[in-house]
Structures are given as structure tokens and as C-alpha cells.
Structure 1
Amino acid sequence: MSKIRFDETARSERYFSATLLSHLLMVNEFAGLKALFKDLDIVPADSLSTDIEIVTELDPLRDGAKANKNIESIFAHEGRMAVPDLFLRWDKRILVIEAKFFTAPTVEDLDAQVSKQREAIDLVLSETQYRECEIKYALLTVNKVRDKDNLLPDVLLLTWSGVIDILRGALGEGYQSNIDYCFKIIENAVKRSEKELSKSNNDYRLVANIEELLKTLPELIASEEIFVGYKGGLKELERAEFSTLDQRSHYKVSRSQPNSNWIRIDIIIKKYLDLKLAL
């Protein structure tokens, strides 16, 4: 068994967005950030502006509450709402990024998360210096988000590989060792994540109905197939009626939990039994 390195096994989204990507955006006089804005066609009118801002793990309400009484009141009422991974500003253009690594949330989940981030920033916008700025929101994922239902019409859909290509083009040949290091670690992680997500997307079996799910429960537990796919996740399951679960055409069962739409099998069964007993 080979000895591991922590930077080659790291899985935290924060590590990739707040440490490695942020570094690539800032080096060489913010060449990476400027290239990204140019590729997304959000370069400010004053393209020579040096007014640039990069904030990772932004908490608009909590952080702003320490410096502004009005935001303090909003925070007291709303509490913590949403934390975008990256807040990037170049003059009067802003890009807010939610990054994902080693997970593949549903489009519904992503839409809800971005909506919360947008709401949090909108709540404090009048108390900031950004009221005249144009704000764009983006998702940064390993595999491109397939928004078949057009839930994210005004959200930019980026991939880690695509962003790395942009940054490589901007930073030129013969990278400094620190730049080369960031590229190497991110690209290695993309390969690991693609491999994992590919397995998790296919590593499931279909169970015909709820009765069959109950019959095969001991076998499923023994084989550690303990997650059930349910569109909408726990929130949708809470709203489910007995007929919804009883007449469902099939259930997907997996060993892995690729996103929040995969619920532990005991939760599904408890919901079904509670509804059945209530009848």
C-alpha cells in the first residue's frame, strides 16, 4: 500500500476554492481574475481599473453586522443565510461563485443554494459600496451542470477544467513553482473527482416497489446499499403521501450518497410505515 500525501487526497471544497484557485486568480497582478472576467464577458467599462476585491467564504450578514448597525439588525432577524465560496470584484463588475468538488448536487439543490446567496447579498446591498455594480452568479463544478428544466437561466455554469484552461492561457508558459503547484493539485483532484462521480452515478440497482424494498432490506443492509434516491430529498419526502410511496414505480438503491437527494433507507421506510399506520 502506497504512502499518501495530504494535498493529493484532500477533498475540502474550501481548500480548492479558497487556497488554490484564489492564489491563481491573484498572482501576476490578478492576471487570472482578469482573464476569467474577460472570458465570461464581464470586464468592467474601465478595463484599466486596479480596484479589485477577492473574498472567500463570504458571509454577507454575519460579517457585515460587525461594521454596520442596519446589517446588524438584519442579521439579528435573519441569522446566517448563505456563504458563497468566492466573491470577486473588478471595479463595478462582481462575480459570486459557488464551487463544488467531489459532490454532484441536483440542479434543484444548486438553484436553492444560489437563490439563498443572492437573497443574502440583496438584503445588505443598500448598506454596501456595490449598489451600482453588476452582479453575476456562477456555479463551478467538476462536471458541467445539465440544466434541462432551465432552473438556472441567469447563472453562469463553469467547470474546474474550463477555468483551469482559462487561467493557464492567462499565466503563460514557464510557470513559477507556486503556480505550477496549484495547477497540479487541482488537475489531480479533478481526475479523482471525475472517477468517483462516474462510479457513484452508476453504482445503484433498481428495486421494483416499496414492498420489494422491505423484503430485501436485510440483504441491502448486509451489502451496505443503504441510500435511496428520492428527487427533492428530505423536504420532498416530508410532503409525500402514502400513495406516493406505495405506488412509486421503482426505487434506486446505492452504497454511496452522491448528493442530498439520496436518503438513508431507514428514513424512507420509517416514513412509509408512519403513513401506513396513520391509515
Structure 2
Amino acid sequence: MSKIRFDETARSERYFTATLLSHLLMVNEFAGLKALFKKLNIMPDNTLSADIEIVTELDPLRDGAKAKGNIKDIFKERGRVAVPDLFLRWGNQILVIEAKFFTAPTVVALADQVTKQHDAIAMILDETQYSHCEIKCALLTVNEVRDEDELLSGISQLTWTGVIDILRDTLGEEHQSNIDYCFKILENAVKRSEKELISNVADYRLIANIGELLKALPELIVSEELFVGYTGGIDALEIAELATLEQRKHYKVSRLQPNSNWVRIDVVIKKYLDLKLGSDSSID
């Protein structure tokens, strides 16, 4: 068996967006970024403008609070609202991207996350240089999200393969080694993710009970097994009683969230602790 390379096993979305994709958007005088904006039909008023920004892992309120007093007050009141993976601006057009790679959150979760990202920027827009700008939000996923209830209306959908194709067409056939490197790693990661997402229903392990789930939490965080299977999803969990959680035969945990019956592990743990601590205090 051949030994592993970290760039062939990496799973962090931050690596793919902040390192690889951002590099491809910047090379050749931001040709990739301009091509992406053109594809989404969000061209600036002045297409010759060199006024471009690329910010990864933007926290609008926290970061802005360091520079502007009024934003500091908002940050104190609201705290951290949302952190988009990419904030891209060309002239008077802003594109905010939330990217997913080895996870497949529900449509409800995606819509909520993107809405919060838009709102976090919009609430301080007048305190920035972007009050004249138009904001467009987009999801970047391995597979296109099925939005049967139109929860993502107004949000552009991009796939990693589609973006790679846009950038390949833009940057041409003969690339510098650094560009080829980025394409190679991204395309390899897409293949790995597609394979995982196809088999995601079986990609879980069983944990005996809620006590073992608590004990395993540090390990699960490290291995990114952050979703728990719960029949009925969040609605069923919200009405669950303490005995239900304690007597449950087992808990399924997974890196993936194949459908709405899979709930984030922190939500399950919080529900249990709220019930447990409430029960203990009532006994006292």
C-alpha cells in the first residue's frame, strides 16, 4: 500500500476555498474571478475596474468592529452571526459564497446559513464602502442541491466541477505548475467526495448510548463525525423526553448529513443536558 499525502487526504473546506480556489481566482490578473462573475451575470458597472477584493473566512461584525466604533456596538449586541467562506467583490458587485465539500447539509440548514451570512453583511453595509454595492449569495457544493421547496430561491448554485470547468476554460490549456497543482488537488477531492456522498447512507457507526456518546465527543470532533441519526429529525428531538434519550438502543454518528433525520451532534447533546440538568435540579 502506498503511503498517504496530506494534500490527497485533506478534508477541510477552508483548505479548498482559502488556499486552492482563491489562488485560481487571483492568477492572471484575477481572470478566474472575473469569469465567475460573468458566468453568474453579476458584472460591475465598469468592467475595466481593477477594484477587486478576495476575503476568506470573513466575520463581518467581529472584523469590522476592530475598525469602526458603530460596528463594535452591533457586535457587542449580536455577537458572531455568520462567517462566509468567500467574500468576493469586483467594483460594485459582491459575491458571497458558502462552500461545502465532504458534507451534505439539509436544504433548510443551507438556506438558514446563507441568509445569516447575507444579513451579517447587510446590517453593517452603511458603515462600509459597500453601501452602493449589490450583494449576491451563492452555494458551492459537490452535487447540485435539490431544492424542491424553493428555499434557495435567489441564491445561486454552483458545483465544484462547474467552477473548475469555468476556471480551466478561462486560464487556458497551458498552465504554470502552481495552477496545475490547484486543479489536480481540487479534482481529486471532488472524486473522493462524490464517492463518499454516494455511499453516505452506510457511512456511520453505532454508539451504544447517550453516556458513551458524551464520552466519545472529543474523538468525534477530531474525526469530524458531527451528525447523529434521529428518526423524525429536529422536530422529534425537540419533544423528546429524558427517558427517551437515555433508553435509546444506540446512536448512529456520521461525517455526513444525508437527510433531515440527521441532526448536528451539539444539538443532540444540548437537548440531553437541558433535560438532564433540569431533571436533577427539580429533584434537589
Shared fold (TM-score, shorter chain, > 0.5): yes
Provide the secondary structure at the position in 2 that maps to 1:170.
helix
| 2:141 pairs with 1:141 | yes
Provide the secondary structure at the position in 2 that maps to 1:45.
coil
TM-superposed deviation, 1:201: 3.2
Give 1:197's aligned residue. 197
Q: Kindly indicate whether the alpha-carbon contact (under 8 Å) linking 1:203 and 1:254 is maintained by their aligned counterparts in 2.
A: no
Counterparts of 2:77 and 2:263 in 1: how far apart (Å)?
32
Map residues 5-16 of structure 1 onto 2, 5 A cutoff: 5-16=5-16
| 2:110 pairs with 1:110 | yes
Q: Kindly indicate whether the alpha-carbon contact (under 8 Å) linking 2:229 and 2:253 is maintained by their aligned counterparts in 1.
A: no
Counterparts of 2:26 and 2:272 in 1: how far apart (Å)?
51
Q: Which runs of 4+ in 1 moved over 6 A?
A: none
Counterparts of 2:153 and 2:230 in 1: how far apart (Å)?
26
Provide the secondary structure at the position in 1 that maps to 2:28.
helix
Q: Kindly indicate whether the alpha-carbon contact (under 8 Å) linking 2:203 and 2:256 is maintained by their aligned counterparts in 1.
A: no
Counterparts of 1:156 and 1:100 in 2: how far apart (Å)?
14
Map residues 7-46 of structure 1 onto 2, 5 A cutoff: 7-46=7-46
Q: Which runs of 5+ in 2 are unaligned?
A: 213-226, 245-250, 277-284
Give 1:228's aligned residue. 229
Map residues 77-226 of structure 1 onto 2, 5 A cutoff: 77-201=77-201
Paired amino acid for 1:239: E
Provide the secondary structure at the position in 2 that maps to 1:20.
helix
Give 1:72's aligned residue. 72
Provide the secondary structure at the position in 1 that maps to 2:183.
helix
TM-superposed deviation, 1:238: 4.6
Provide the secondary structure at the position in 2 that maps to 1:87.
strand
Counterparts of 2:75 and 2:23 in 1: how far apart (Å)?
31
Give 2:256's aligned residue. 258
- Percent of aligned pairs with the same amino acid: 65
Number of residues paired by the alignment? 255
Is the alpha carbon distance of 1:129 and 1:151 closer, same or farther for their aligned partners in structure 2, counting shifts above 3 Å? same
Give 1:240's aligned residue. 239
Give 1:4's aligned residue. 4
Counterparts of 1:23 and 1:53 in 2: how far apart (Å)?
13
TM-superposed deviation, 1:45: 2.1
Q: Which runs of 5+ in 1 are unaligned?
A: 205-216, 246-252, 275-279
Paired amino acid for 1:80: R
Counterparts of 1:257 and 1:230 in 2: how far apart (Å)?
17
Is the alpha carbon distance of 1:230 and 1:127 closer, same or farther for their aligned partners in structure 2, counting shifts above 3 Å? farther
Q: For each residue in 1:152-201, what CA deviation from the matched residue of structure 2 results, as whole angstroms up to 9, or x when unmatched? A: 10100111000000000000111110000000000000000111111113
TM-superposed deviation, 1:241: 5.8
The root-mean-square deviation of aligned C-alpha atoms, in Å, is 3.4
Is the alpha carbon distance of 1:203 and 1:67 closer, same or farther for their aligned partners in structure 2, counting shifts above 3 Å? closer
Provide the secondary structure at the position in 1 that maps to 2:254.
coil
TM-superposed deviation, 1:257: 4.0
Counterparts of 1:263 and 1:128 in 2: how far apart (Å)?
34
Is the alpha carbon distance of 1:263 and 1:55 closer, same or farther for their aligned partners in structure 2, counting shifts above 3 Å? closer
Moved more, 148-157 or 195-204: 195-204
TM-superposed deviation, 1:239: 2.8
Is the alpha carbon distance of 1:136 and 1:230 closer, same or farther for their aligned partners in structure 2, counting shifts above 3 Å? farther
Counterparts of 1:98 and 1:123 in 2: how far apart (Å)?
18
TM-superposed deviation, 1:254: 4.9
Give 2:221's aligned residue. none
Q: Kindly indicate whether the alpha-carbon contact (under 8 Å) linking 1:229 and 1:263 is maintained by their aligned counterparts in 2.
A: no
Paired amino acid for 1:228: G
Is the alpha carbon distance of 1:270 and 1:31 closer, same or farther for their aligned partners in structure 2, counting shifts above 3 Å? closer
Is the alpha carbon distance of 1:80 and 1:270 closer, same or farther for their aligned partners in structure 2, counting shifts above 3 Å? closer
Counterparts of 1:255 and 1:80 in 2: how far apart (Å)?
27
